């Protein structure tokens, strides 16, 4: 298998359009982690992503008859732009099916290369199904984003360049994983020449399909309602068939990174390069940091040299606010705490003294019943152990403390809502939703509810992604939970109940 792929990689035609990107030393990360870190700068491709390699190689290898039929694909991101640019260069008609909630910046980027854009459905699965229908109806050739040998070979040129550019044999190469095209190609080439170099996949929490497949020993499908959409470039429910055949043999392990760790990695890439990577683009850096830090904590031998693939930089500007808010938590430099204090003279000052001279990134105070008050505070800390020490110290001083550093509802919504309460003490159930960012989404939501449910709380914040985050409270008794749930499922938006979340019970109820 390896020899076959190496031959395909060496024979690929990516350099008719793609560029050989630099392997750049990262001095800041190297010093902080105690290993030599190199960044493979795929953000410098013409479409700011490695995807142009596989797309172009697939289309350049097609016969004249196939090229005459035109190509079609489904994608809302970098693959769409890669196919559109490659088709323009080769003079091939291209149709790209994208979800109706795709940000206009991506739609316009694809159109600028002369491709026809078809908007269908609210996400990738619906767009993919429609693209396959059009493929059959119109006789076009489908260009898969990852599960195709020619695409894998095109992506494998990233591994070939790493081998050619690195001064010696790297100890480990970290590769972001969505459907697996990039890691399959990179692993095939590197393992053929450097069997001892560890090839490590990195996935985002909530879309770790390769990790799940490795554990099960077979391809599995992640539940659609659990699929995380933050790192949308790698949000895939099932690893590809061909890519898994390669990865299960030649990928050494898979690291899973959190949203906060990805945000911190975006900041790291910016500090090293002054380029803002997209979440999927910084994923390998997040996993590399997690791997090295875990090895240090477990007193395992650290690798001396590592490579992380920065796979893309197609990020919406509107997302930067959300990313910057989460970066400090992801670097374990911020703790988000909810603290209860007695509402009496001098108690506020006493609490501030207990915090000492730590930097405070956020501070929200809210009076509570029974002569109590709740404080939502962001504190600067040095390490996770330092965070634990702060919590322990406050509890030793008889403060009630809830650590909300990993609480999604608290960080996405409640921190922006502290102060608003259920003044009439209505019975209330709270839910967190993901709305597709398209006109009519709210109307569809309210229409699905009808007039049977009274909304008591609503919070929406645009994060510059394809999906908006929404918090909604309903006037309802706990016994009505099942009935309300049926209404919400009928609407079709992903949701999570947050009624018992301490961020809600302390600051909003």
- pLDDT tens-digit readout, 63-96: 999 999 999 999 878 999 999 999 999 999 999 9
Q: What 3-state class would DSSP assign to 469?
A: strand
| pLDDT value of residue 367 | 63
CA pseudo-torsion sign 446, 486, 409, 347: positive
In a domain, 367, yes or no: yes
> What is the span of the domain harbouring residue 348?
332-406
CATH assignment of the domain containing 109: 3.40.50.1100
Is there a contact between 290 and 318 (Cβ–Cβ < 8 Å)? Answer: no
Tokens of 367: 């009076």
What residues contact 414, with CB distance under 8 A and at least 6 apart?
Answer: 376, 471, 501, 503, 504, 507, 508
Q: How crowded is the C-beta side of 271, counted as CA atoms within 13 Å?
A: 15
DSSP H or E stretch at residue 204 = strand 198-204
The pLDDT, as a whole number, for residue 462 is 59
Range 235-261 average pLDDT: 95
* 294 and 250 housed in the same domain: yes
Helix (H) or strand (E) run with residue 338 in it: strand 334-342
Over residues 268-288, the mean pLDDT reads 96
Whole-number pLDDT of residue 137: 95
Please check the confidence at residue 108 and state whether its pLDDT lies above 80: yes
The mean per-residue pLDDT over the stretch 391-417 comes to 85
If asked whether residues 195 and 286 sit together in one domain, one would say: yes
**Has residue 299 got a pLDDT over 90?**
no
- What does the pLDDT average to over 137-148? 96
pLDDT, greater one: 444 or 462: 444
Residue at 411 is within a domain: no
Cα torsion for 137, 140, 146, 152, to the nearest 10°? 150
* The total number of residues written for the chain in this structure: 509
Whether 12 shows a pLDDT value over 90: the answer reads: yes
Two tokens at 15? 């350099």
Among the candidates 327, 354, 377, a domain finishes at: 327
Q: What is the pLDDT of residue 91?
A: 96
Report whether pLDDT(204) > 70: yes
Cα atoms found within 13 Å of the Cα of residue 256, Cβ hemisphere only: 12
How distant, in Å, are the alpha carbons of 37, 60, 231, 298 from that of 292? Answer: 11, 39, 22, 10
The reply to whether 346 and 267 lie within a common domain is: no
Mean pLDDT value of segment 120-124: 77
CATH number, domain of 388, equals 3.30.70.1150
Cβ contacts of 141 within 8 Å, gap of 6 or more: 62, 66, 69, 70, 71, 72, 135
358 shares a domain with 221: no
Q: How many domains does the chain have?
A: 4
Name the catalytic one among 12, 55, 305, 311.
311
Q: Is the pLDDT of residue 422 over 60?
A: no
* pLDDT tens digits for range 448-492: 766 677 777 777 765 556 677 788 888 889 999 998 988 888 888
Cβ atoms within 10 A of the Cβ of 486, count?
A: 8
Mean pLDDT of 33-59: 96
- The answer to the question of residue 111 being in a domain is yes
Per-residue pLDDT band for 428 (boundaries 50, 70, 90) equals confident
Q: Are residues 183 and 311 in the same domain?
A: yes
Which of 271, 298, 327 is a domain's end point? 327
Identify the active-site residue in 8, 12, 49, 51: 51
Judged by DSSP in three states, 106 sits in helix
| Alpha carbons within 13 A on the beta-carbon side of 249 | 14
Instruction: Clarify whether residues 111 and 79 are in a common domain.
Output: yes
What pLDDT is stored for residue 329 in this prediction?
Answer: 60
Mean of the pLDDT values across residues 483-508? 86
Domain end (from 312, 327, 342): 327
From the number of C-beta atoms within 10 Å of its C-beta (0-12, 13-18, 19+), residue 300 rates as exposed
301 plus 183 within the same structural domain:
yes
When comparing pLDDT for 449 and 43, which is higher? Answer: 43
Q: What's the chain's average pLDDT?
A: 88
Distances (CA, A) of 478 to 325, 354, 482, 500, 503: 34, 38, 9, 11, 19
Q: Tell whether 82 and 197 lie within a shared domain.
A: no
Instruction: Give catalytic status of residue 12 as yes or no.
Output: no
In a domain, 273, yes or no: yes
- In this structure, the answer to whether residues 313 and 188 fall within a common structural domain is yes
The pLDDT score that the predictor gives to residue 491 is: 82
Give the residue-averaged pLDDT of 490-506: 87
Token pair 């890439």 in the structure block, residue: 269
Residues 186 and 288 in one domain: yes
Q: What is the CA radius of gyration of the chain?
A: 25
Chain segment 159-180, per-residue pLDDT in tens: 999 999 999 999 999 999 999 9
Task: Give pLDDT tens digits for 316-375.
Answer: 777 787 787 777 665 667 788 989 888 676 676 688 778 877 777 677 766 667 777 788
In a domain, 129, yes or no: yes
Q: Are residues 401 and 449 in the same domain?
A: no
What is the predicted pLDDT for the residue at 215?
Answer: 96
| 51 tagged catalytic | yes
């Amino acid at each position: 298998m390896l020899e076959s792929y190496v031959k395909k990689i060496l024979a690929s035609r990516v350099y008719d359009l793609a560029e050989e990107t630099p392997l750049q030393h990262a001095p800041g990360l190297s010093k902080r982690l105690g290993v030599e870190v190199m960044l493979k700068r795929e953000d410098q491709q013409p479409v700011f992503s490695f995807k142009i390699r596989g797309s172009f190689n697939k289309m350049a290898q097609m016969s004249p008859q196939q090229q005459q039929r035109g190509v079609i694909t489904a994608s809302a991101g970098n693959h769409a732009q890669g196919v559109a640019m490659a088709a323009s260069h080769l003079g091939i008609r291209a149709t790209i099916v994208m979800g109706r909630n795709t940000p206009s910046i991506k739609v316009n980027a694809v159109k600028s290369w002369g491709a026809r854009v078809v908007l269908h459905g609210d996400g990738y699965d619906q767009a993919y199904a429609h693209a396959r229908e059009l493929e059959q109806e119109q006789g076009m050739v489908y260009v898969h984003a990852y599960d195709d040998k020619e695409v894998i070979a095109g992506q494998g040129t990233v591994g070939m360049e790493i081998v050619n550019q690195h001064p010696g044999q790297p100890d480990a190469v970290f590769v972001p994983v969505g459907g697996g095209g990039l890691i399959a190609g990179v692993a095939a080439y590197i393992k053929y020449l450097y069997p001892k170099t560890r090839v490590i996949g990195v996935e985002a929490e909530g879309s770790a399909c390769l990790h799940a497949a490795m554990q099960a020993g077979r391809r599995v499908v992640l539940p659609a309602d659990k699929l995380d959409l933050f790192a949308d470039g790698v949000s895939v429910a099932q690893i590809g068939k061909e890519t898994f055949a390669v990865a299960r043999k030649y990928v050494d392990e898979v690291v899973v990174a959190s949203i906060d760790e990805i945000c911190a990695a975006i900041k790291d890439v910016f500090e090293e390069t002054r380029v803002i990577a997209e979440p999927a683009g910084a994923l390998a850096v997040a996993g590399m940091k997690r791997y090295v830090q875990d090895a240090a904590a477990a007193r395992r031998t650290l690798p001396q040299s590592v490579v992380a693939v920065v796979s893309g930089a197609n990020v919406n500007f509107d997302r930067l606010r959300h990313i910057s808010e989460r970066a400090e938590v992801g670097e374990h430099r911020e703790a988000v705490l909810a603290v209860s204090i007695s509402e009496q003279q001098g108690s506020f000052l006493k609490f501030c003294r207990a915090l000492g001279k730590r930097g405070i990134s956020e501070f929200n105070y809210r009076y509570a019943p029974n002569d109590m008050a709740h404080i939502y505070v962001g504190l600067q800390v040095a390490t996770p152990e330092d965070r634990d020490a702060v919590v322990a110290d406050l509890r030793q001083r008889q403060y009630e403390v809830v650590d909300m550093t990993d609480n999604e509802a608290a960080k996405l919504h409640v921190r922006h809502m502290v102060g608003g309460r259920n003044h009439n003490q209505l019975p209330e159930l709270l839910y967190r939703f993901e709305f597709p960012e398209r006109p009519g989404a709210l109307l569809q939501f309210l229409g699905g509810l009808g007039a049977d449910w009274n909304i008591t709380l609503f919070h929406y914040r645009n994060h510059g992604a394809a999906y908006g985050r929404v918090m909604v409270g309903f006037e309802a008794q706990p016994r009505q939970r099942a009935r309300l749930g049926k209404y919400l499922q009928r609407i079709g938006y992903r949701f999570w109940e947050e009624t018992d979340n301490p961020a809600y019970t302390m600051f909003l109820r």
